[in-house]
Structure 1
């Protein structure tokens, strides 16, 4: 009697490729790359995002987002730190480098996080403001927690504005106003009443603008 031996071919290559990509991501670093803005507006964000990917084709890099402020073109990138300089060189046709910031988890106390958040907000670095204030929010309780959440939502709304997602921006501003509606006075030199007035003005006119804390 003969036995039939069945041989199954297992293609391991897809699994190997997935493993290698996962390994690459683990050894890559996240940066906020700020290029000098000559005359771009938030309307250009999607085009710049697409162009930046074309310019860096062939590199091991992820450009996950593009945001446009009056000062900077902000690219949220993941790349090996040794290749950051090469990445910046490839992006020079979009704009000269102003600065980059390595995004890492840090233990920072609340007061410093709020000061950082104010600095980032006043320099139209709204994503970083959002992250700093969220870190402070985690260390707060009660009314202060709700107030900071309102400020976080203002920053989050303006992140959407920088991506030309104006409908989303106005919606998030509405949520921010609800969080701040019974808050007033000064908080770390932030005039809360003035912030609320700016939000109301944007919602009433359906026109978005940036301002300082």
Structure 2
């Protein structure tokens, strides 16, 4: 996508990268509600990963696992990069976290710290 993303999008990405997942959700949800495709599913995928990390920070293993899986699935259509975001890299890190959570199980959820960041795509 060559089109410029709204400033609120980048604010949401910054909030995500600062582990402000609830604020990221609020910022991106406002964009998602007004967006058309293909941006709507893109915003939703990032939102789902943000909410998954919010759940993880609250030791909600089930919520984290479900939303990570849904976010990964939704963003898979936007690889390798989209809207200035290195989607493939984000998905790789998200998939590693999902796998580790699934292997650890709910009884070990407190061992995880939600430290994912959304990487920028290299400039062309």
Q: TM-score range by the shorter chain?
A: 0.7 to 0.9
What does residue 119 of structure 1 align with? 14
Deviation at 1:181? 2.1
Q: What SS class does the counterpart of residue 181 from structure 1 fall into?
A: helix
Give runs of aligned pairs for residues 10-89 of structure 1, distance below 5 A: none
Greater relative contact order structure (CA < 8 Å, 6+ sep): 2
Counterpart check, 1:136 vs 2:35: no
Aligned residues: 104
Q: Which TM-score applies when normalising by structure 1? A: 0.45
Task: State the 1:137 CA deviation.
Answer: 1.1
- 1:186, distance to aligned residue in structure 2 (A): 2.8
| Number of the residue aligned with 2:117 | 212
**1:186 equivalent in alignment to 2:81:** yes
Aligned alpha-carbon RMSD (Å)? 1.7
Question: Displacement, 1:170?
Answer: 1.1
Query: TM-score of the superposition, structure 2-length normalised?
Result: 0.75
CA deviations 1:8-55 (Å, max 9, x no partner) are xxxxxxxxxxxxxxxxxxxxxxxxxxxxxxxxxxxxxxxxxxxxxxxx
Instruction: Give unmatched runs, 5+ long, in structure 2.
Output: 105-111, 119-124
Structure (1/2) with the larger strand percentage: 1
Instruction: Give, in whole Å, the separation in 1 of the partners of 2:116 and 2:97.
Output: 11
Task: From the CA coordinates, give the structure whose radius of gyration is larger.
Answer: 1
Higher helix share goes to which structure?
2
Runs of 4+ in 1 over 6 A off after TM superposition: none
Unaligned runs of 5+ in 1: 1-109
Match of 1:196 among 74, 79, 91: 91
Listed one character per residue, the Cα deviations across residues 122-142 of structure 1 (whole Å, up to 9, x for unaligned) are 110000001111111123211
